[in-house]
């Protein structure tokens, strides 16, 4: 049995070593997943998480994140949060400092301020150019200021895009520490050009994130609406309670999500880690992989995800 393990979606590579260092020095799974996630949130090259995330239809970067503690099954989450670089740490404060599980929008931003988090401009020039370019492609006669889109954003909902395309995606970190505790962190800027206020699976416990020391932890990337409808992360862990292997539990949960119809796309990828340190990943798209480290690996290792069904 592994002494410690951390696994992450492929865009978690930038935070892998930091997360493994926490575990190697005897730190908790909770600290490890937060540390790994923060580095992805600060990576301006990743247009699907934190700083540099592509904005909603009216040009605002709105972030979703959650953290789960498998020891207590406590959870903290923030949704549609604007103006803070580290939603994962704010989610952890929600878990540790409030009687609540999920704070959204203005309330989440207010709480972040009260907890001493510093405000940040998250819309990078590159992300702004991409957003404006996409909207100008729709209407070449557009006047400066993009005001029309602020007044009629719903007209442009066909522009909304899966954060896994073309690269990167929501980030998942799952860890097992030397004390046998599991934790899971998920952070995202959600679908590009989403309607303002849209919330995906990432901050919804049971949908995009779940951890229970007794059975395992699971997390999702891809079309969050599917993971919400199929309660996918909890579904993986439920299958583990019935004695399935990690891989079989993931297959069953993804097959269930795959059976849902969705006109906006059905791409979904899952990761899971059990209390023995066994882990696996599945995706309904070919070519997806994940990364992991344990006490025997000096460098992050890459693993191909098994393809289950076909997403769009
Ligand atoms: N899975 C991330 C999202 O749909 O926002």
Domain residue limits, the chain: 5-307
Higher-pLDDT residue of 152 and 112 is 112
Q: How far is the CA of 208 from the centre of ligand 1 (A)?
A: 8
Could you tell me the CA-to-CA distances from 309 to 42, 216, 252, 253, 306 in Å, in that order?
Answer: 33, 23, 11, 12, 10
The pLDDT score that the predictor gives to residue 162 is: 58
Q: Looking at ligand 1, which atom is closest to the CA of residue 223? A: 4
Domain 5-307 belongs to what topology? 3.60.20
Cα(296) to centroid(ligand 1), Å:
32
Q: Is the pLDDT of residue 188 over 70?
A: yes
Dist CA 285 CA 168 (whole Å):
14
User: Which atom of ligand 1 approaches the CA of 225 most closely?
Assistant: 4
Categorize the per-residue pLDDT at 148 as very low, low, confident or very high, splitting at 50, 70 and 90: low
Residue 95 CA to residue 102 CA, distance in Å, equals: 8
Burial class (CB in 10 A: 0-12, 13-18, 19+), 105: middle
Q: Greater confidence, 5 or 151?
A: 5
3-state SS, residue 301 = strand
Report whether pLDDT(145) > 70: no
Angstrom distance (rounded) from CA 103 to CA 79: 6
- pLDDT on residue 150: 64
- The rounded Å distance from CA 274 to ligand 1 centre is 23
Ligand 1 centroid, distance to 200 Cα (angstroms): 5
Residues in the ligand 1 pocket, defined by CB under 6 Å: 163, 170, 188, 190-191, 200-202, 208, 220-224
Token output for 11: 């865009």
Q: How much of the chain exceeds pLDDT 90, in percent? A: 80
Query: Which of 6-15, 49-58, 154-163, 226-235 is least confident?
Result: 154-163
The residue written with tokens 């575990």 in the block is: 23
Return the DSSP state at 25: T
Please answer whether residues 204 and 76 qualify as being in contact, where contact means their C-beta atoms are separated by less than 8 angstroms.
no
Test site for ligand 1: of 160, 202, 205, 285, most ligand atoms within 8 A of the Cβ: 202
Residue nearest to atom 5 of ligand 1 (CA): 190
> Which residue among 221, 230, 257, 271 has the greatest number of ligand 1 atoms within 8 angstroms of its CB, and so is best to mutate?
221
Query: Which atom of ligand 1 lies closest to the CA of 190?
Result: 5
| Cα of 213 from ligand 1 centre, angstroms | 25
- The set of catalytic residues is 170
Q: What tokens appear for 32 in the block? A: 């490890």
* Ligand 1 pocket test target in 64, 79, 164, 232 with most atoms within 8 Å of CB: 64
Q: Is 145 left (phi over 0), alpha (psi -120 to 50) or beta?
A: left
Average pLDDT, the chain: 92
* pLDDT value for 166: 44
């Amino acid at each position: 049995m592994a002494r410690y393990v951390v696994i992450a979606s492929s865009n978690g590579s930038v935070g892998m070593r930091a997360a493994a260092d926490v575990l190697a020095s005897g730190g908790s799974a909770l600290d490890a997943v937060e540390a790994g996630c923060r580095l992805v949130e600060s990576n301006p090259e990743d247009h699907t998480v934190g700083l540099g995330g592509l904005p909603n239809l009216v040009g605002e970067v709105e972030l979703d994140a959650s953290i789960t503690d498998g020891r207590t099954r406590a959870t903290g989450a923030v949704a549609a949060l604007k103006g803070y670089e580290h939603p994962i740490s704010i989610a952890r404060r929600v878990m540790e400092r409030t009687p609540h599980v999920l704070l959204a929008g203005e309330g989440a931003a207010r709480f972040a301020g009260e907890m001493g988090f510093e405000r940040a401009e998250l819309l990078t020039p590159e992300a702004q150019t991409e957003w404006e370019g996409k909207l100008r492609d729709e209407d070449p006669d557009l006047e400066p200021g993009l005001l029309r889109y602020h007044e009629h954003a719903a007209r442009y909902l066909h522009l909304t895009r899966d954060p896994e395309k073309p690269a990167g995606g929501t980030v998942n970190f799952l860890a097992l520490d030397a004390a046998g505790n599991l934790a899971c962190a998920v952070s995202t800027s959600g679908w590009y050009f989403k309607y303002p206020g849209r919330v995906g699976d990432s901050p919804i416990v049971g949908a995009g994130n779940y951890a229970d020391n007794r059975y395992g932890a699971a997390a999702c990337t891809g079309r969050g609406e599917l993971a919400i409808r199929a309660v996918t992360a909890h579904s993986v862990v439920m299958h583990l309670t019935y004695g399935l292997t990690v891989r079989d539990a993931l297959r069953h949960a993804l097959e269930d999500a795959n059976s849902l119809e969705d006109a906006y796309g059905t791409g979904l990828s899952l990761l899971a880690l059990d209390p023995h340190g066994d882990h696996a990943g599945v995706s309904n798209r070919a070519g997806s992989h994940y990364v992991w480290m344990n006490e025997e690996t000096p460098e992050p290792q890459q693993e191909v995800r098994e393809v289950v069904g076909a997403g769009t």
